[in-house]
Amino acid sequence: QVQLQESGPRLVRPSETLSLTCSVSGGFISDPEFYWAWIRQPTGKGLEWIGSIYYRGTTYYNPTLRSRVTMSVDTSKDQFSLRLTSVTAADTALYFCARRSLATDIGNWYDPWGQGILVSVSS
């Protein structure tokens, strides 16, 4: 079964760039049936969709973050990545990567998810 694992620095300084990688095992990131997504959750708050990427490079970003977000995919390593520039304390959150099904006539969904990585923005 597919498993996802986030990795990256857990502390980022304000105004710097947050960079995370999600490693996919038990499956292939080039599987044409799926997109790959980043979702975050500030402590004690709800879930916020950051964006999604297809293995061919097509991306969709949350408009509230679009100016600061870049997602990329490395099919040779079965990894996809998130870059978020000019971070502030408001970007402190638990960051999850997840697999998203392709669109169907009943929508699409996120399954499975990585365990999450807590990233703090602080000087």
Partner 1 sequence: DIQMTQSPSPLSASVGERVTITCRASQNIDSYLNWYQQKPGKAPKLLIYGAINLKDGVPSRFSGSGSGTDFTLTIENLQPEDFAIYHCQQSYRTPRTFGPGTEVDV
* Contacts with partner 1, residue ranges (CB under 8 A): 45-49, 60, 62-64, 96, 98, 103-104, 106-116
In the structure encoding, which two tokens stand for residue 109, read together?
């969904």
Provide, rounded to whole angstroms, the least separation between the CB of residue 116 and partner 1: 5
Residue with Cβ nearer partner 1 (5 or 30): 5
Residue with Cβ nearer partner 1 (74 or 111): 111
Rounded CA gap, 12 and 68, in Å? Answer: 15
Is there a contact between 104 and 7 (Cβ–Cβ < 8 Å)? no
Provide, rounded to whole angstroms, the least separation between the CB of residue 16 and partner 1: 25
Provide, rounded to whole angstroms, the least separation between the CB of residue 118 and partner 1: 9
Backbone angles phi, psi at 58, to 5 degrees: -65, 135
Provide, rounded to whole angstroms, the least separation between the CB of residue 60 and partner 1: 6
Residue with Cβ nearer partner 1 (1 or 123): 1
Rounded CA gap, 12 and 100, in Å? Answer: 27
Residue with Cβ nearer partner 1 (24 or 114): 114
Rounded CA gap, 6 and 40, in Å? Answer: 12
**From the CB of residue 121, how many other CB atoms can be counted at a distance below 10 Å?**
19
